[in-house]
C-alpha cells in the first residue's frame, strides 16, 4: 500500500508501507529491549529485598508497571524520534497517514494500541496479515503506519527544498 504525501499544489509523492517481515523483526527487537529492561528492574527490586507473591495487589502493581513501561517506551520514542530502537535497527520510521511525522497524540494512541493488541492475545499484530492495507490495530487507532526510513527522509528533504 501507498500513502500519498502532499508536497505542493502540483504533485505528490507516495510512501510505501514497510514490509511485514521487517516490521516483525523490529517488533521483536523492541520486545527484547522491554524484556531486558523489565529483567533489570526485577533484579534491582529483588536485590533490594523485594519479593512478589500472587496476591491481587501485587498483580495489579505488576500490571501497572508493565503498562507504564510499554506506554513510556513506545509513546516517548515515537513522539520524540518517530521510531523505536527496534524500528531504527531495521530502518523503519513511523509516519502519519498524511505522510508527516506523528504528532504526540498519535504517538500516545499508537502506544495505547500496542496495549490493546497485546491484551487481545496479540491479535492486533496478527491483524496485519488479513487487513486490506496490511495495517495493525495500533496503526489504525493512531492513523499512522511504518515506512522505510530512507524514503521518509528523502521525502522530507524534497518537501523542504521545493
Say if CB 14 and CB 109 are below 8 A apart. no
CA distance 30 to 65: 17
pLDDT, tens only, 30-51 = 999 999 999 999 899 999 998 8
Task: Find, among 5, 139, 127, the residue nearest to 74 by Cα.
Answer: 139
Confidence of residue 109 (pLDDT cuts 50, 70, 90): very high
- How high is the pLDDT of residue 10? 39
- C-alpha cell belonging to residue 4: 500519498
Q: Residue 82: which residues within 8 A CB-CB, separation 6 or more?
A: 93, 94, 95, 101, 102
- How high is the pLDDT of residue 154? 59
pTM over 0.85: no
Say if CB 158 and CB 151 are below 8 A apart. no
Mean pLDDT of the chain, nearest integer: 87
> Rounded to 5 degrees, what angle do the CA atoms 105, 136, 149 make?
70
- How high is the pLDDT of residue 8? 43
Q: Is 115 helix (H, G, I), strand (E, B) or coil?
A: helix
Amino acid at each position: 500500500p501507498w500513502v500519498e504525501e502532499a508536497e505542493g499544489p502540483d504533485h505528490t509523492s507516495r510512501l510505501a508501507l514497510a514490509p511485514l517481515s521487517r516490521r516483525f523483526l523490529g517488533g521483536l527487537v523492541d520486545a527484547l529491549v522491554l524484556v531486558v529492561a523489565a529483567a533489570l528492574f526485577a533484579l534491582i527490586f529483588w536485590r533490594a529485598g523485594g519479593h512478589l507473591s500472587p496476591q491481587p495487589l501485587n498483580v495489579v502493581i505488576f500490571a501497572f508497571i508493565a503498562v507504564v513501561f510499554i506506554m513510556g517506551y513506545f509513546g516517548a520514542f515515537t513522539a520524540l524520534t518517530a521510531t523505536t530502537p527496534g524500528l531504527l535497527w531495521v530502518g523503519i520510521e513511523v509516519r502519519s497517514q498524511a505522510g508527516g511525522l506523528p504528532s504526540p497524540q498519535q504517538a500516545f494512541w499508537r502506544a495505547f494500541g500496542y496495549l490493546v493488541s497485546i491484551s487481545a492475545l496479540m491479535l492486533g499484530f496478527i491483524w496485519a496479515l488479513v487487513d486490506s492495507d496490511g495495517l495493525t490495530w495500533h496503526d489504525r487507532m493512531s492513523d499512522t503506519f511504518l515506512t522505510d526510513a530512507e524514503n521518509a527522509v528523502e521525502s522530507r528533504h524534497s518537501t523542504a527544498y521545493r
